């Protein structure tokens, strides 16, 4: 079985805070060369909440052009207003994206399942590209009910989900309650191999910035029935990066490492995020290289 390897791409910035399109193109080449087959710009690690709609379109257009058919592009279109999200889906389609990733409403706390279903139904109306759900409770303050996901999947409104709940029981229920054609993708990097063994379809994982080939090798090991090899990749290559990113912030950590490796020009992030100081970045890179 071929498992999808997706990257929730960082958004490179110049020193003055503007978009760095040259670094973005370099990042695409780096990821594709490492085996990433699904590029996901304008997601959480891409600091989507700090981008204007014009910048989002530029990021998607640049990613699509740089990928040049070597990997699919799933554009993040997160927002809380239905019409704004629908406009972003249309803009992503116009920019050449193959699909869009729709995050749950992220202001106001836990919404009723019926309210979430209404939101996702309304967002999907008239969409011209496939849509994927994005469940990230740590950022939205709520977790999508399995019943909501199952209903949307069974009615063909959405083609899959990125599950960043970090809850394997929840992930297992998603697999059990949705059609086989519905992609269930792991967004919690520390559970990548376990999720594949349970029947997951791959993942969208920030670790791919640092070790893009690791997830592909883990997937190949699972497909070959070599669980011991897959566990080794999980424990020795995926987990150390994930733990560091979880501790210091995914965008700051990934950008610090990419900048030191020369993939992107610098490690600038936008407020409210803060870059790693030089000492922390150097120590982190040295530890991960070891």
**Which residues carry out catalysis?**
134, 162
d(CA 56, CA 246): 25
Q: Which helix (H) or strand (E) holds 236?
A: none
Q: Annotated binding residue at 129?
A: no
Q: Annotated binding residue at 204?
A: yes
d(CA 160, CA 48): 20
d(CA 103, CA 35): 25
Q: Where are the strands (E) in the chain, listed by range?
A: 4-8, 38-40, 72-76, 99-103, 131-135, 160-163, 183-186, 202-204
Closest CA to 78 of 54, 45, 44: 44
d(CA 59, CA 25): 10
Q: Is 179 left (phi over 0), alpha (psi -120 to 50) or beta?
A: beta
Burial (CB < 10 A; 0-12, 13-18, 19+), residue 156, is exposed
Which residues, including other chains, have CB under 8 Å from residue 224's CB and lie 6 or more apart? none
List binding-site positions: 45, 204
Annotated binding site for pyruvate: 45, 204
């Amino acid at each position: 079985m071929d498992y999808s390897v997706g990257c929730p791409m960082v958004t490179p910035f110049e020193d003055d805070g503007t978009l760095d399109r040259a670094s973005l193109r370099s990042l695409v080449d780096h990821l594709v060369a490492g085996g990433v087959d699904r590029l996901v710009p304008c997601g959480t690690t891409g600091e989507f909440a700090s981008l204007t709609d014009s910048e989002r379109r530029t990021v998607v257009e640049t990613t699509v052009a740089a990928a040049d058919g070597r990997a699919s592009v799933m554009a993040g279109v997160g927002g809380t207003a239905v019409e704004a999200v629908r406009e972003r889906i249309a803009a992503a389609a116009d920019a050449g994206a193959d699909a869009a990733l729709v995050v749950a409403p992220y202001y106001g706390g836990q919404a009723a399942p019926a309210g979430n279903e209404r939101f996702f139904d309304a967002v999907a109306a008239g969409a011209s590209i496939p849509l994927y759900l994005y469940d990230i409770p740590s950022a939205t303050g709520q977790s999508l009910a399995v019943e909501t996901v199952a209903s949307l999947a069974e009615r063909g409104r959405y083609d899959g989900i990125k599950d960043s709940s970090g809850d394997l029981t929840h992930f297992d229920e998603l697999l059990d309650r949705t059609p086989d054609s519905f992609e269930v993708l792991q967004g919690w990097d520390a559970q990548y191999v376990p999720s594949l063994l349970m029947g997951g379809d791959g993942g969208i994982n920030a670790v791919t910035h640092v070790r893009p080939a690791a997830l592909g090798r883990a997937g190949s090991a699972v497909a070959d029935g070599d669980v011991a090899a897959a566990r080794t990749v999980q424990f020795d290559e995926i987990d150390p990066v994930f733990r560091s990113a979880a501790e210091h912030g995914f965008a700051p950590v990934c950008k610090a490492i990419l900048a030191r490796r020369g993939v992107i020009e610098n490690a600038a992030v936008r407020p409210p995020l803060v870059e790693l100081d030089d000492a922390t970045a150097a120590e982190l890179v040295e530890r991960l290289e070891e």
